[in-house]
Structure 1
């Protein structure tokens, strides 16, 4: 199968492309190296792709380009059977600082992609959405029919992507699926996330920092589970035109997360508290019942298990990964 992964040098997109290559698919990665975090992590991801492609004897192509470039998007989508759309301006706080940029990339870029996919009659477009579309919780865990009241420009752009995808399915018969990811983590994760920050600081004997009182809760999703959901959707039409939560069905307070990491790596450290960050969600917790019923999705790890695995990976890869984390 010919698969296009936009944002394929990034954290989630990189793992998806790696998995697709290992399965022997023909994979094209599009990425513009948006400098939201250290480019070296993305360069490392591309080297992993090349190694996996060689081992699997799979065809691999990397294109440095932007989803806002209509001509580039039309050209590469025309060669794809399935498009896995991960490209986005990430970051809730970044979107508060620069709402125009996040709208240009996340909304206009997605429209470019959907238009090209419609013209090329691709088999399916799988889009990365976010738990940020929910905003303030009316009830937890979030089910897919929970009100969507995003509290950041980032969340608004992700909700807009979902509506655009739905419209292209209803008006043009383009098969689309939107996956609402709940704070994904794992090897090569973005360095500006809570887990990687806590681990980095603790292994270097520095106090972990919590923004707010630590009572915020998060549903953290191990990246392998996101990969499994996307792999299933390469072939399954069971949720075309739908949105699905992809989470762990577990959640943990930021306080407990910091303590878990601290206790494993540096028990003597005291936790530091600073002012809460603007537009951060207070709580997230996914119901994955719909994904379980329709595509057999089942989280593979509890948060505690996944964090333990990430700590082991961090320590094994510290030589190359840590300088990039601490530079971001």
Structure 2
């Protein structure tokens, strides 16, 4: 890959995107980040290696740039990355997670020798399968508008790769966690434990389980997929192969914080949320990419980050 080519990271100021940009910069690569900063976790600092454009990822300006500059790759992480908003507003989710990537693919179709395109998809495409682990071949049966839009976007990626020879792939991310994440179960449990170390209310009954993938592993996967994968429209599970229940996760987080609260389970679950996930990343592992950071290794840094932003909020307050 030519050293002078920049990586275009759409949504590069978000949770996962900011870690990808950080990893690319550490590797000596150059990045163009496009983000509207509506849900940014870390606004990138401009440098010799990094340029930030504050704009919508599907704006005319960005579409024009795709035809003007030869990028090393286009990593698409913009859009809506959460199930609950899709349940409340399916039309918004449709625009953010299907119309936007389609606009990008249509533009790439017009380019001679288009750059590799990698879509951030989700294990939500599988819904709530009964058989574990969830392999790359597990049938997709989404149970939320978010899962439907991600699956449809994957299908467009596959078709455009085959029909128009756009080198492309989709990464089906399981439950990503790590520093800078400001939603989802790990962040919520850290915040609740800090707010009340005596009692923590938790959705569900404690048996709900997730395959938690550390964000640094996910960042590396996005970069390595461009270098190692055939990019023929295929999908890849990004998972560890291990799952942890909500109850065990809450205990691990409390231990990291030096607390021992009583856990009160509500029994209620959010519409569109699966009960149990445990992934199998066989296809990804087969090309040499492995997400192997354990909870024991990834959680302390995440908890420490959560504690630091809580302290900062208290000082401001």
- If the length of structure 2 is used for normalisation, what is the TM-score? 0.90
Query: 1:65 corresponds to which residue?
Result: 55
Query: 2:274 corresponds to which residue?
Result: 281
Alignment of 1:35-114 (within 5 A): 35=39, 42=41, 45-46=42-43, 49-50=44-45, 54=47, 57-58=48-49, 60-69=50-59, 71-78=60-67, 79=69, 80-114=71-105
Q: 1:67, 1:105 within 8 Å by CA — same for their partners in 2?
A: no
Deviations 1:245-272 (A, max 9, x none): 1112111001111122123325342112
Structure 2 stretches lacking a partner, 5+ long: none
Residue 255 (structure 1) aligned with residue 247 (structure 2): yes
CA distance in 1, matches of 2:170, 2:314: 34
CA distance in 1, matches of 2:26, 2:256: 33
Query: 1:30 corresponds to which residue?
Result: 34
Q: Secondary structure at the match of 1:87?
A: coil
Cα distance change of structure 1 residues 29 and 266 upon mapping to structure 2, 3 Å threshold? same
Q: 2:36, 2:56 within 8 Å by CA — same for their partners in 1?
A: yes
CA distance in 2, matches of 1:14, 1:267: 30
- Deviation of residue 192 (structure 1)? 2.0
Question: How many pairs are equivalent?
Answer: 308
Deviations 1:252-306 (A, max 9, x none): 0011111221233253421122222111111111101211112x11223112321
Q: 1:217, 1:252 within 8 Å by CA — same for their partners in 2?
A: yes
CA distance in 1, matches of 2:78, 2:289: 23
Q: 1:250, 1:303 within 8 Å by CA — same for their partners in 2?
A: no
- Deviation of residue 319 (structure 1)? 4.0
Q: Secondary structure at the match of 2:32?
A: strand
Query: 2:306 corresponds to which residue?
Result: 314
Which deviates more, 196-205 or 232-241? 232-241
Query: 2:146 corresponds to which residue?
Result: 154
Query: 1:5 corresponds to which residue?
Result: 9
Cα distance change of structure 1 residues 268 and 159 upon mapping to structure 2, 3 Å threshold? same
- If the length of structure 1 is used for normalisation, what is the TM-score? 0.87
Q: Secondary structure at the match of 1:263?
A: helix
